[in-house]
Amino acid sequence: MLMYEILNKKKHGQELTTSEIRWVVDGFTSGEIPAYQMSALLMAVCLKGMTTRETADLTMAMADSGDIMDLSCLGDKTIDKHSTGGVGDKTTLIVGPIIAAIGLPVAKMSGRGLGHTGGTIDKLQSIPGFRTEMTTEEFLDNVKKHGLCIAGQSGNLVPADKKIYALRDVTATVDSIPLIAASIMSKKIAAGAGHILLDVKTGNGAFMKDLRDARALAEAMVNIGNGCGRKTAAIITDMSAPLGRAIGNNLEVKEVIRVLSDCRHSAQDLLEVSVAIAANMLYMVDYAGLAACEAKVMEVLENGAALDKFAEMVEAQGGDRSYIENPDKFEVAKYTRQVCSSSGGYIGSIDTEGLGIAAMILGAGRKTPEDEVCYSSGIVLTSTIGSYVEKGQIIALLYTNDKNSLLEAEHKFIESIKLTPTMPQTVPLIHDKIGL
C-alpha cells in the first residue's frame, strides 16, 4: 500500500478499506509512517468525515495496537463507565462504590486531568498513600477481593491512541467526532468490560457544547461499541454548570464522601446524575427494571454500604482509610480568598469552562501533561445557577498554595458568573439516553 494513495482517497471523501485503516494505524504506531503524513490524514478525516464502518475499523485497529484486558475471570456482568469530561465531575468515585456494594465487579481504568477538566486519578492521588499504578495481576486481584479497583492505565494499552492523540492536539484535529469516538472507544474496548455506559457531557463546560453534537458523538460511540460486540449505551448529561459545589482534587474527594455518607443533604445535582448513571449501569446488565435499580442504588447509599466500599477500596490500594472516615484530615491550602457578589440578583448563567480555568490557575489542573497539580487547590461554590445572592454575599471560596494566583483566578471567576434580575429557566440534568 502507498500512504499517498490513501491520503488522496480520503481527501476526495472516499471510504478507506478495513485493511487500509489497519495498515495506517500499524504503520504510524511502529514509526514506519511519518507524522507529517499522519497529520495530513487526520485533517482529511476532520474535513471529510468517516462512515460508521470506517470509524469502527479505526477503533478496533487502535485497540488491537496493544494489550486487551481479559476480564472473563470476573464473570459475564462486567461493566465500565466513561465520562467525556467536565468541571467538578466526580461521579466515578460515587458510582464505582455503589455498583461494587451491590455485588457487581468494577474494574475501572481512569485518566489524569488536562485543561479545564479534572481527572479521576488526580482526585484519588490526593488521598495520602493511594496507589493508582499496578500490574494487571494486582488490578484484577483487587477486583476479585474487594469488588472494586480504580487505577491508571497500565501495561501496553492502546499505544496507537497515545501517538495519534498527541498529533491531533497540535494539528487542530481534536474536535472530529469520528476521531473522538475512536479514541474513547478503543480504550474502553481494550479495558475489557462486556458492557459500557457512556456519560456524554453537553453544555459550556463540556467538549461537546451543543446538544446536537453531543448526541451525534453518543450515537457514534454506541454504534461502535455494539458493532464490536460490547453492549453499549449512552446517557447525555448537562455540563452548563459545575457538577456539585467542589472543583479541585481533595475538595472533590471530600464532596464524594459527603454524598456517600449523607446523600440527602449533599449536592443534589451530583446525586441525581450519579444515581442515574449507576441505575442505568445496573439496568444494562439486566439486574432489574430501571425503577428497581434506582431503588437499590439509593438503598446502598443510605445504609452506608457504598461509603464502606469506597473506604475498603482506598485501604486496599494503599490509601489512608482514616481520611475517608474523617475528611477534615485532608490538607487545606495555605491561602483562601472569599469571592463576593458585586450586586444583588440571581445567578443566571455560569461559564463552566471559565471556572475550570480559574481552578487550573489556582493549581488544581494542568496546562500541559507534564504539569504538577496541587491537591488542595480549587474552588468551592456557595451558590450556583438559580441562587439569589445579595450584594457583598460570599458566592465562592478559592484555595491555593500560590498566593500570586489568587487575583488572576478571582478575576476569571467573576467574569464567568452572570447575574440576572429574574430566576433563570431550569435546565434538565439528563438530556437524553441512547440505546437504553
Indicate if 169 and 236 belong to the same structural domain: yes
DSSP letter at 421 equals S
Indicate if 336 and 320 belong to the same structural domain: no
Q: Which of 298, 325, 352 is the endpoint of a domain?
A: 325
What is the rounded CA–CA span in Å between residue 360 and residue 355?
A: 9
Handedness of CA 108, 114, 118, 124 (dihedral sign): positive
Cross-strand pairs, 242: none
Residue 15 sits in which domain range? 3-49
Indicate if 207 and 251 belong to the same structural domain: yes
C-alpha cell at 228: 464490536
- Whether residue 62 is contained in a domain is answered as no
Indicate if 122 and 165 belong to the same structural domain: yes
Contact 218, 210 (CB under 8 A): no
What is the rounded CA–CA span in Å between residue 328 and residue 381?
A: 18
Contact 20, 1 (CB under 8 A): yes
Residue 411 has, within 13 A of its CA and on its CB side, a CA count of 5
What element of type H or E holds 152?
A: strand 148-152
- Whether residue 126 is contained in a domain is answered as yes
- Whether residue 67 is contained in a domain is answered as no
Indicate if 284 and 390 belong to the same structural domain: no
- Whether residue 259 is contained in a domain is answered as yes
The CATH number covering residue 43 comes to 1.20.970.10
- Whether residue 428 is contained in a domain is answered as no
Indicate if 315 and 374 belong to the same structural domain: no
Indicate if 247 and 301 belong to the same structural domain: yes
Indicate if 219 and 85 belong to the same structural domain: yes
Structure confidence at residue 117 (pLDDT): 61
The number of domains in the chain is 3
Indicate if 145 and 103 belong to the same structural domain: yes
The CATH number covering residue 361 comes to 3.90.1170.30
- Whether residue 61 is contained in a domain is answered as no
Cα–Cα distances in angstroms (integers) from residue 124 to residues 120, 173, 318, 393, in the given order = 6, 31, 11, 32
| Active-site amino acid positions | 82, 161, 168, 183, 187
| Residue whose C-alpha cell is 509512517 | 33
Task: State whether residue 127 is helix, strand or coil.
Answer: coil
Q: Which of 325, 345, 367 is the endpoint of a domain?
A: 325
Contact 434, 234 (CB under 8 A): yes
Indicate if 210 and 141 belong to the same structural domain: yes
Indicate if 151 and 298 belong to the same structural domain: yes
The CATH number covering residue 95 comes to 3.40.1030.10
- Whether residue 122 is contained in a domain is answered as yes
DSSP letter at 423 equals P
Residue 396 CA, distance from chain mean position: 24
| Residue whose C-alpha cell is 499505544 | 159
Q: Which of 325, 344, 371 is the endpoint of a domain?
A: 325
Contact 48, 13 (CB under 8 A): yes
Indicate if 375 and 311 belong to the same structural domain: no
- Whether residue 24 is contained in a domain is answered as yes
Integer-rounded Cα Rg, in Å, for the chain is: 22
Residue pLDDT tens, the chain, 436 long: 899 999 999 999 999 999 999 999 999 999 999 999 999 999 999 999 999 999 999 999 999 999 999 999 999 999 999 999 889 999 999 999 999 999 999 999 887 665 556 689 999 999 999 999 999 899 999 999 999 999 987 668 899 998 998 898 789 898 899 999 999 999 999 999 999 999 999 999 988 999 999 999 999 999 999 988 899 999 999 999 999 999 999 999 999 999 999 999 999 999 999 999 999 999 999 999 999 999 999 999 999 999 999 999 999 999 999 999 999 999 999 999 999 999 999 999 999 999 999 999 999 987 776 778 899 999 999 999 999 999 999 999 999 999 999 999 999 999 999 999 999 999 999 999 999 9
N- to C-terminal Cα separation, the chain: 41
Task: State whether residue 338 is helix, strand or coil.
Answer: strand
